[in-house]
Amino acid sequence: MTENEYWKHFKQIEEDIDGALAVFHAEEESHHLAREDERIRRCLDADALFWNMQVASLQSTLFMILGRLFDSTKGTLSISRFLDETVDHPGYFSKDALAARKTAGGPKPDWLDDRIAEAWIPNRAVLAKLQKALQLHEERAEVYRQIRHRYYAHRPLKDAHLIWDLFQQTNKKELSEILGFLCDVKAAIWQLYYNGKKPDLDEISHECDGEAIRESVRRVFKKLTQGQAAG
């Protein structure tokens, strides 16, 4: 695997993580607003068919993305495989590799020597801690992977009676923690690759709370209720 191939895999994983976060927080904020704001609830009730369709679309998208991220099928790109690739290629995070990225074929910046001197020297043992930290979340995510496989991707007749039981095993708090972990991993790898910073999953990424997408949802509903009042 080349470094370009590795980073292409990162961008694909990043896209899925960002997509899952956006969908999760958009649905959560929509439900929150509907519970807390009578005007919004009336707006949704007035066109319940449309809004139910939107919620169903958000849910199916989330399950499909989670299915990809935690896919155990051989030959597929998952978060587990990506972390395996990370552990197998510590050289991509070396000081020489970081210096090459920072210069990108151009003149060397005055600050580069200090930055490189401060950079963490990667080793497989530390990188492997990312894999170990993933294990708990893989176990939690198994039910979502099963729902994606048995309900959204396929509909085998013999498993029809199991679908309800699978949905009953979902847990929004645990799901939020899974997504938060994925977000932190993404941020840690990016910081390691571009800034030579040692991965630290105790540093929570500001992106995990989904505030940007939640604010976007609030703005949309504000416009909708204003339009309803005007009508």
Confidence of residue 229 (pLDDT cuts 50, 70, 90): low
How far apart CA 170 and CA 142 sit, in angstroms, is: 10
Backbone angles phi, psi at 91, to 5 degrees: -65, -25
Percent of the chain's residues with pLDDT above 90: 69
How far apart CA 68 and CA 148 sit, in angstroms, is: 9
- The ranges assigned to domains in the chain are 3-230
Structure tokens at 48: 């319940």
Mention every residue, 6+ apart, whose C-beta is less than 8 A from residue 208: 21, 179, 180, 183, 184
Return mean pLDDT, the chain: 90
| DSSP 8-state secondary structure symbol assigned to residue 70 | T
Of 30-44, 77-91, 149-163, 193-207, highest mean pLDDT: 77-91
Confidence of residue 192 (pLDDT cuts 50, 70, 90): very high
175 with 210: CB under 8 angstroms?
no
- pLDDT of res. 208: 74
Does 157 score more than 70 pLDDT?
no
How far apart CA 66 and CA 78 sit, in angstroms, is: 10
Backbone angles phi, psi at 121, to 5 degrees: -85, 115
Residue-wise pLDDT tens digits, 113-127: 999 999 999 888 989
Residue-wise pLDDT tens digits, 55-110: 999 999 999 999 999 998 889 999 999 999 999 999 999 999 999 998 887 888 88
Residue-wise pLDDT tens digits, 137-146: 999 999 999 8
Mention every residue, 6+ apart, whose C-beta is less than 8 A from residue 201: 130, 133, 181, 184, 185, 188
Q: Which residue has the higher pLDDT, 7 or 109?
A: 7
Tokens 């949802």 belong to residue:
217
In angstroms, what CA-CA distances link 97 with 63, 91, 142, 150?
37, 7, 36, 43
In angstroms, what CA-CA distances link 94 with 36, 101, 193, 196?
51, 11, 9, 8
Residue-wise pLDDT tens digits, 167-189: 899 999 999 999 999 999 999 99
- pLDDT of res. 161: 75
91 with 163: CB under 8 angstroms?
no
- pLDDT of res. 230: 52
- pLDDT of res. 27: 94
